[in-house]
């Protein structure tokens, strides 16, 4: 997707602070952190949002949920963390490439962060 911000980050066209990478998943620090640890985990293949998850691509989403606890452990989030995915305008989704926020490092409120 040539006009997708996160596809450009995955491709290295736009710089990011990498936290984790494998064949199908990329994770990087959010540019506007809402908590002491704020990491975004994305599939390398473009999926717009949760509504774009289907039988063909569900394996990468499952893999993301294997990777998330490993990232949380590496980030030292022993006290817990929150995983958030905003889907659509009412949720405040601003980047149309499926991503999972990992938030932690403080006592989180019931707001997103
Ligand atoms: P959402 O609002 O759920 O779509 O989340 C998009 C997230 O992407 C926000 O938390 C932004 O701070 C973050 N973001 C936007 N641009 C960048 C960037 N260039 N590098 C890292 N994070 C970004
Ligand atoms: Zn994309």
Per-residue CA distances from 89 to 21, 36, 67 (Å):
28, 26, 27
Q: Which two tokens stand for residue 113?
A: 């962060």
* pLDDT given at position 112: 59
Pocket lining: 3 vs ligand 1, CB cutoff 6 Å: no
Q: Which ligand is nearest to the CA of 99?
A: 1
Q: Look at residue 65 in the predicted model and tell me its pLDDT.
A: 98
Cβ of 92 less than 6 Å from ligand 1: yes
pTM of the model: 0.97
Edge-to-edge strand ranges of the sheet holding 100-104: 18-21, 25-29, 37-43, 100-104, 81-84
Q: Give 78 Cα–ligand 2 centroid separation in angstroms.
A: 31
Instruction: Provide the annotated active-site residues.
Output: 99
Tokens for 89?
Answer: 């305008």
Question: pLDDT tens string for the chain (113 positions)?
Answer: 779 999 999 999 999 999 999 999 999 999 999 999 999 999 999 999 999 999 999 999 999 999 999 999 999 999 999 999 999 999 999 999 999 999 999 999 977 55
32 CB near ligand 1 (under 6 Å): yes
Separation between Cα atoms, residue 63 and residue 43, nearest integer Å: 9
pLDDT reported for residue 99: 98
Identify which of 95, 111, 113 to mutate to test ligand 1's pocket (most ligand atoms within 8 A of the CB). 95
Residue bearing the CA closest to ligand 1, atom 17: 31
Phi–psi pair at 27, nearest 5 degrees: -135, 140
């Amino acid at each position: 997707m040539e006009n997708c911000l996160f596809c450009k980050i995955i491709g290295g066209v736009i710089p990011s602070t990498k936290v984790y990478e494998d064949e199908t998943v990329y994770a990087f620090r959010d540019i506007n952190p809402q908590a002491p640890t704020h990491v975004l985990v994305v599939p390398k293949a473009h999926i717009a949002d949760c509504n774009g998850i289907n039988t063909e691509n569900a394996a990468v989403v499952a893999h993301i949920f294997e990777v998330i606890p490993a990232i949380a452990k590496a980030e030292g989030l022993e006290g817990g963390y929150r995983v958030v995915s905003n889907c659509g305008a009412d949720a405040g989704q601003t980047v149309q490439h499926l991503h999972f926020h990992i938030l932690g490092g403080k006592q989180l409120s019931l707001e997103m962060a």
